[in-house]
Amino acid sequence: MNLVVDTSVWSLVLRRPQVEETNRFVQAFRFHVTQGHGLLLIGNILQELLDGLKFLRDFHRLLALLEPFPLLELTRETYVEAAQLRNTCRSKGVQAGPIDFLIAAACIEHGYPLLTADQDFTHIAHHSDLVVVPT
């Protein structure tokens, strides 16, 4: 099984001084790793993870840790679908940022579930084919 891991989960696992192993999102991440599932990134998630690091050594360390995880290719259609999805969700009262909709559209387009701790994606999933884990 392949799945996209959102910034919210990567941050819990890689950017905290101490990882909370009892956190259900950390446990879900560990489960997928131990099962040998393919963990994927989207360019915007990679950028979000690398943004704001104070020290260059932390930047390079995190970049090296993320290197083995492939990036999903985004197409023109991905961006169009993200805009349509955002318009649909906004008409139903669901608010989220444009990057969240781009991540959702990429997951839908490629048929991969999204491992996330961000509740915005749960709201998006109610109005689309996005599959969010853990449920």
- Over 90: is that where the pLDDT of 130 sits? yes
Q: How many whole angstroms separate alpha carbon 31 and alpha carbon 59?
A: 26
- Within 1-133, strands assigned E span 2-5, 38-40, 114-115, 132-133
pLDDT of residue 135: 64
Pick from 69, 24, 17: nearest CA to 45: 69
pLDDT of residue 15: 83
Q: Please give the average per-residue pLDDT across 3-19, as a whole number.
A: 93
Cα–Cα distances (Å) from 21 to 11, 27, 37, 58, 120, in that order, read: 13, 6, 19, 22, 23
What residue segments make up the domains of the chain, in order of their start? 2-66, 76-110+118-128
This prediction has a pTM of: 0.93
pLDDT in tens, 35-68: 999 999 999 999 999 998 999 999 999 999 999 9
